[in-house]
Every structure is written in structure tokens, then in C-alpha cells.
Amino acid sequence: MNLVVVSNRVARGKANEPMTGGLAAALLPVVENSGAIWVGSSGRVREGSHKEPFAEIEALGAGALATVDLPAAHYGGYYEGFANSALWPALHSRSDLIRASQEDYSSYREVNAFIARALLRFRKPDALFWVQDYHFLALGAELRDLGVREPIGFFLHTPWPSSTVIEGVPHHRELIEAMLAYDLIGFQTEADCANFHCYVRAELGLEIHDGVVTSPRGRTRLTVFPIGIDAEKFAHAATKAVSHPDVSRLRRSLNGEKLAIGVDRLDYSKGLINRIKAFDRMWTTQPSLSRAVSLLQIATPSRGSIEAYGQLQSEVAKLVSDVNGRHGEADWTPIRYLNKGYSQAVLSGLYRTAQVGVVTPLHDGMNLVAKEYVAAQHPADPGVLVLSKFAGAANELDTALLVNPHDIDGMARTIATALSMPLTERRMRWEAMMTKLRGHTIQQWFGDFVEALHESRTGVPATEPSITEPSSLRPLRTVGSGSRIH
Ligand code: G6P
């Protein structure tokens, strides 16, 4: 079988480089080992004719990475417009932030059609196409319209909200009908899958039997595949990372003070404002915790040209400055706030240094930071995870301290509880979470989806994806990082 994986953002095989977003970081090791071809945006745009996509190809583990320059005329409308100003807010139940013009929608469809044309080059009789995330809801339909008959699957890394929210997205019906060109659609949680069922039944008037919806486009299986991590590998990286200079310097700077850590893209779905307010409340109501604990908040900028993100950046920076001004001392900064990305090699050491991991999104598909924080802990002296009950990860990591990210007082109290939790309880909670992480890895997630995609057509389990013939590829060329944010 020749597997072709498609996502807007891709990652290269460099573990020591910062990566933006859980999707690319999670897929990298499994795609590398599978021998698949991974196709995505180069992060650059190309002027002029966009009819003929050109993919630059380089080796990636046992397979290859193919990056495509997207058409300049449609990039803004696709990425900043429809994908991230209409779909992203809707998928995270932020109807108030939905902005979309007719041009944005047209550009989104154009880019989906463009990527479909780019994929034709990788079409082989035994190909399987696996499309990732909300950037490409209509890609399967575009491929079918180009005559592709091979299995095409789709996995949504974000939540799927209630129908009333999705109905706020212009052209929602057309888009969701197009999604039914996929043979298999995977969701992070049962709740997401159930919301999709509701839409399909109520809005499209279609029947679903045993998780399969039959539409004019064919049969589509709807299944839940919660994404995992390679917990053992992450734990190993964390043991090595503690001697990394960045991590050693952090430890030395603490002077016996405890550390809480938050690591997020700078995104309104991540609950940064509420989290910082919770720390503010905690230091106000429990003055003994001043100097006793500080927060290291890494907030990696992303999608900065979109108004809502620019506003958030200013709002968070102002709040951090207010809180530091109010609670700080000449020799103590309550919140260490960083707007940059770190490699996983360093992050794992930062997680291990922190006694509390705060992962408090208002809404999140899964949130792999929560899983990585757990995997990075020292088994003999693990830290405590404070986790939003609205992150997909809360379904599995139910022995974390679960919080409502809208309840500032509750979060403040829970963070204080985490800081004083006895070792026996910390270990008990951590071991239960680690058992779950070990029992459901990213490798299993990847294999389960590919197998289900294969079976969705044939009813026959898949064989291992074969290693793609390098000779079938163009000569390798190094590509620059272009405008991509790392
Ligand atoms: C989320 C999305 C991913 C995306 C990542 C980074 O995790 O689900 O699809 O790759 O954010 O977003 P960006 O817009 O910076 O590529």
C-alpha cells in the first residue's frame, strides 16, 4: 500500500527544531517510519498561474516530504480567511469570532482543488489518501471529482461543535456534503462524533447505521480515534533534556521556588487570559504562595496577521505585565512570559522541571501538551497536571486535576491544591495517566486509522504501508523555511 498523508502544515525530521502545533509534531515520527509521502504547504506562495502545482520533494525517514507553494491569489483567503477566521473559531465554538467573505470561501475551495491536483502525481493503484484537519474539508470531494477512486480518509484534530455553531459557517451545508466524499472520517472524541451525527441527521436528513452514513457521495464511516503520543520516547527525551543548558539554567534560576508551566500556541482557544487571572487570584488570596511558585508561560505566536490573534497578543501581554507589576518584587517575577517556540528536546526538560502543568483550554480537540507533560515526569517524584475538562485529553487523563477554565476561583484553588499535593497521591494519579498513555500510543493511532481506512473499502485488514520507491521521486532539493512560523 502507498500511503499519502496530507496536511496544511508539515514538519521536517529535525527533533531539535521548534515546531508549531501538535499536528505536525505528532505526525512527524509516525509518518517518517511508515514510508508514507507527506504532502503539505511549503509556507510560501507562488504568483501567476496556479493551475499546475509544483511539489518539491525531499527524503523523510523511510518516505518523502512533498511541499507545495500555494497560489498567491488565494492563500490569504484560504489560510487567514476561511480556514482560520471562519472554520477555526466555529470548530472551537467561538461563533462571535466567525468572519468570512464570499471571496474567502472561493479561495478555500480553490486551494482544496489545487492540492487535489498536486496529489494526482502520487496516485497509484494501491494508494491510500489520508487528509488531516479543517484546512481540507473539501479535498476528498475534489479528488473524487478528478476521478480518484482509491480510499480517502480524513481526521479532524479539532473539536466538532454543535450544529447551531456550525450553522454560523457560510456554506456549511455544501462543505459537509463534500466531506461525505471521504470513506472514513475520524474524530478525537465521542462528543465530536456525536455532534457530527446530529448535523448529518438533522440538517442533511441522512440515516446513519452502525456508524456509516450513506449519501449521494457514497458510504462514509464515522469513527473516534483519540490521538496519542510516544510516551516512552518522550519520557526518555525528558531524562536526557534535564542536562540541556536551557533546562539547567532554568533550574538554577528557581532558588527552591516551585514552577508551574503552560505551553500553548498564542490562540484564544487556549484559555490564556483565564489561566493568568487564576494565578493572579491565587497570589491575591493566598499571599504565602508569592515567591513560593512562579508560572513559566510559553505562548508561541501563530496566525499573527489575523485581527483576533493580534488583539489576544496585546491583551495577554498587558495582563502579564499588570500581574507582574502587582505581585512582583525586585528579585521575583511571578510570570515568566515567552513568545517563542522550543524544540521537543528542550520542552520535555522544561516539563520535567515544573511541579505543575497547567493545560486549561476553553476548548481543544485533544491537547498533546497535557500528554507530554505527564510523560516527561520523574516517576519517583511526578508533577501534577491541572487540565481543562474541555480538552479532549480529559477523557483519558481523568486522574489529572480537572478544572472548568471559566471558573477563575476554582482554577486558583486547584492550582494551590496541586502545589501542595502529597507524593503518594501525585504518584497514584501519575501512574494511572501513564498507564493510559502507554496503552494508546501515536503509533497505534496511526496504524488503527490506516487499517480502518483500508477496511472501509475492502473489508480486509491492511498490510503494512510499503516504503515508497525513491526512484519515482524527483531529485531531492532542500527547501527554505519561507514564511513558516516555527
Ligand atoms: C492546530 C491545528 C493544526 C495546525 C496547528 C498550527 O493544532 O489543528 O492543523 O497545524 O494548530 O496552526 P498553524 O495555523 O500555525 O499552522
Task: Please check whether residue 240 lies inside any domain of the structure.
Answer: yes
Q: Are 133 and 156 in contact (CB under 8 A)?
A: yes
pLDDT at residue 12, as a whole number: 82
Residues 189 and 310 in one domain: no
Residues 117 and 172 in one domain: yes
Catalytic residue positions, numbered: 157, 364
CA of 257 from ligand 1 middle (Å) equals 34
Q: Range of 237's domain?
A: 231-439
CA of 22 from ligand 1 middle (Å) equals 7
Residues 147 and 159 in one domain: yes
Nearest atom in ligand 1 to 24's CA: 10
Nearest atom in ligand 1 to 83's CA: 14
Which of 10, 157, 270, 481 most suits a substitution to test ligand 1, by most atoms within 8 Å of the C-beta?
157
Residues 287 and 159 in one domain: no
pLDDT at residue 21, as a whole number: 80
Task: Please check whether residue 477 lies inside any domain of the structure.
Answer: no
- Checking if the pLDDT of 329 tops 50, the result is yes
pLDDT at residue 48, as a whole number: 74
Asked whether the CA dihedral 227, 230, 231, 235 is positive or negative, the reply is negative
pLDDT at residue 400, as a whole number: 98
Task: Please check whether residue 484 lies inside any domain of the structure.
Answer: no
pLDDT at residue 470, as a whole number: 31
Convert the pLDDT of each residue in 454-473 to its tens digit: 999 766 555 544 333 332 23
CA of 265 from ligand 1 middle (Å) equals 9
Residues 242 and 330 in one domain: yes
Residues 152 and 264 in one domain: no
Nearest CA to ligand 1 atom 8: 157
Residues 117 and 174 in one domain: yes
Residues 466 and 435 in one domain: no
Residues 87 and 172 in one domain: yes
Which of 6, 10, 20 most suits a substitution to test ligand 1, by most atoms within 8 Å of the C-beta?
20
* pLDDT, mean of residues 385-409: 98
Pocket of ligand 1 (CB under 6 A): 9, 20-24, 133, 157-158, 302-303, 485
Q: Name the residue with higher pLDDT: 456 or 258.
A: 258
User: What band does 351 get if pLDDT is binned at 50, 70 and 90?
Assistant: very high
pLDDT at residue 469, as a whole number: 32
- Checking if the pLDDT of 163 tops 70, the result is yes
Task: Please check whether residue 160 lies inside any domain of the structure.
Answer: yes
Nearest atom in ligand 1 to 84's CA: 14
CA atoms within 13 A on the CB side of 419: 23
Task: Please check whether residue 480 lies inside any domain of the structure.
Answer: no
Residues 419 and 375 in one domain: yes
Task: Please check whether residue 485 lies inside any domain of the structure.
Answer: no
Which of 5, 9, 155, 368 most suits a substitution to test ligand 1, by most atoms within 8 Å of the C-beta?
9
CA of 326 from ligand 1 middle (Å) equals 34
* pLDDT, mean of residues 305-324: 98
- 82-86, 262-266, 349-353, 460-464 — which is least confidently predicted? 460-464
In the block, cell 505536525 appears at 24
Task: Please check whether residue 483 lies inside any domain of the structure.
Answer: no
User: What band does 15 get if pLDDT is binned at 50, 70 and 90?
Assistant: low
Q: Which residues pair with 127 in a beta bridge?
A: 2
Convert the pLDDT of each residue in 95-125 to its tens digit: 999 998 999 999 999 999 999 999 999 988 8
Residues 451 and 429 in one domain: no
Q: Which of 398, 416, 439 is the last residue of a domain?
A: 439
CA of 87 from ligand 1 middle (Å) equals 12
- 10-19, 199-208, 423-432 — which is least confidently predicted? 10-19
The total of structural domains in the chain comes to 2
Q: Rounded to two decimals, what is the model's pTM? A: 0.93
Nearest CA to ligand 1 atom 16: 9
Residues 215 and 281 in one domain: no
Task: Please check whether residue 172 lies inside any domain of the structure.
Answer: yes
Distances in whole angstroms, Cα of residue 223 to Cα of each of 136, 193, 208, 327, 440: 18, 7, 12, 48, 16
pLDDT at residue 343, as a whole number: 93
pLDDT at residue 54, as a whole number: 82
Q: What is the domain-level CATH number for residue 466? A: 3.40.50.2000
CA of 302 from ligand 1 middle (Å) equals 8
